[in-house]
Amino acid sequence: MSALLDLQGKRLVLGLSGGIACYKSAELVRLLTKAGAEVQVVMTEAAAEFITPVTMQALSGRPVVTSQWDAREPNNMAHINLSREADAIVIAPASADCIAKLAQGRADDLLSLMCLARPWTAGDQRCPLLIAPAMNREMWAHPATQRNVAQVVADGAQLLGPGHGDQACGEVGDGRMLEPAELLEDIVAAFQPKRLAGKTLLITAGPTFEAIDPVRGITNLSSGKMGFALARAAREAGAQVTLVAGPVSLPTPRGVQRIDVRSARQMHDTVLPLAPRHDVFVATAAVADWRPATLAEHKIKKDGKKQAPTFELTENPDILAAVAALRGAKPYCVGFAAESENLLEHARAKLKRKGIPLIVGNLGPATFGRDDNALLLVDATTQQALPADGGTADKLSLARLLVADIAARLQAAHHPA
């Protein structure tokens, strides 16, 4: 689902402090460079006990810097030059000792010295500091570590993790470093504009499954990729996101609360109580319009007469219309229209029928299951293609464009000209 080259043109300093999680940093460098970033690795003396600078140099394509006394810098000020040239400093792993140094403003090695020397003035985002803790669960839970973490965050650093699970010592708990793919997602998110900061979004995604008997049902070809991409993009933009997902096999975007449902009625019964507590509702799911009126108790078997079974259909509840019709507090509603023909005509008709401000149209057969798509944004008076050139784009890139459009509409609604 990830867009290609999310970090194109970004210059990152990746700092490694001492910890067994340094082995994950090798894969992190590979993912960062694959995403387009230029990575400069800085290692402490302790980090070099766990992984060699040679390995990190081979993966990053740049000489690793390990000492504040490195004479390769013309002015012998690596701590200044590295922080001024970087778009962000990422410390992964960040040991308990490293975090303590950051909290206390100590600077007895290149990594801590560089972090202290980075531009830090309030509101100055030229070089954000992202730290990924990695330590034993007891070390993480210790009051001293928690005080240090709180201080580092208060000083403007962003915490990535930690994760929960098996630890190298054999114990299980909080404190392990996030996996490289998780860190990549968080690092990419750090560079996205926070257009929806403070907002709450409720999103539905995927198909529904309407059972005929215990093993068969009515469904559709929706993969859920667009809805999941939108959930990730909204979270990147600073929103708190709840994702109600039909039966799909997709990983949950980081930082997103996910609720799994199966049928249209389950989705309806989940969404309706939640909707009034959210600022925006985006109905991305391809909800089945109809379901069997009755459910066969057992699997419907062939009877040898080559006669297909028949069953009566009944209409499913209209989730989007129900949310749009809520009285009192209700979210800004965005619908999706997956059509097979006459996209603009059907999208505008759905906009009026549902009584909502925005419909996002697409051609279902051309997008279901694919990683790319093209969208048509339709409101009461205008229509706009995404991407603007009329082509296609990967779904995460489209989701980011849609998030930007929704944020602009919310702003306009609260501050009309």
Contact between 94 and 133 under an 8 Å Cβ cutoff? The reply is yes
pLDDT along the chain (417 residues), means of 10: 75 96 97 96 96 96 88 75 88 97 93 89 75 96 97 94 88 93 96 95 96 89 93 97 96 96 97 96 94 85 77 92 91 88 85 92 73 89 88 92 95 73
317 annotated as belonging to a binding site for a ligand: yes
What is the pLDDT at residue 415?
64
Residue 93: asked if its preceding bond is cis (omega within 30°), the reply is yes
E-strand stretches of 71-142: 88-94, 129-133
Per the annotation, the verdict on 169 as an active-site residue is: yes
Contact between 344 and 360 under an 8 Å Cβ cutoff? The reply is no
Q: How many Cα atoms sit within 13 Å of 353 on the Cβ side? A: 12
E-strand stretches of 101-239: 129-133, 158-159, 163-166, 172-176, 200-205, 210-211, 217-218
Amino acid identity of 192?
A: Q
Residue 154: count other Cβ atoms within 10 Å of its Cβ.
Answer: 9
Q: Is the whole-model pTM more than 0.85? A: yes
| Given 98, 115, 127, 169, the catalytic residue | 169
DSSP per-residue codes, 148-176: HHHHHHHTT-EE---EEEE-TTS-EEEEE
CA pseudo-torsion sign 381, 363, 291, 247:
negative
371 annotated as belonging to a binding site for a ligand: no
- Kindly report the length of the chain: 417
Q: Pick from 12, 27, 16: which is nearest to 50 by CA?
A: 16
Contact between 307 and 240 under an 8 Å Cβ cutoff? The reply is no
Amino acid identity of 375?
A: L
Q: What does DSSP assign to residue 340?
A: S
For 387-390, the CB contacts below 8 A with 24+ separation are none
319 annotated as belonging to a binding site for a ligand: yes
Quote the CA–CA distance of 54 and 399 in Å, as a whole number. Answer: 39
299 annotated as belonging to a binding site for a ligand: yes
Amino acid identity of 23?
A: Y
Ranges for all domains in the chain classified under CATH 3.40.50.1950: 11-190
Quote the CA–CA distance of 224 and 250 in Å, as a whole number. Answer: 8
Q: Which bin fits 114, alpha (ψ -120 to 50), beta or left (φ > 0)?
A: alpha
13: helix, coil or strand? strand
166 annotated as belonging to a binding site for a ligand: no
- CATH architecture observed for domain 200-295+309-414: 3-Layer(aba) Sandwich (3.40)
305 annotated as belonging to a binding site for a ligand: no
Please give the structure tokens belonging to residue 157: 């650093």
99 annotated as belonging to a binding site for a ligand: no
Contact between 337 and 360 under an 8 Å Cβ cutoff? The reply is yes
- CATH of 11-190 given 1.10.510.10, 3.10.20.90, 3.40.50.300, 3.40.50.1950: 3.40.50.1950
Q: Count the helices and strands in the chain (H runs, E runs).
A: 14, 21
Ranges for all domains in the chain classified under CATH 3.40.50.10300: 200-295+309-414
What is the pLDDT at residue 1?
40
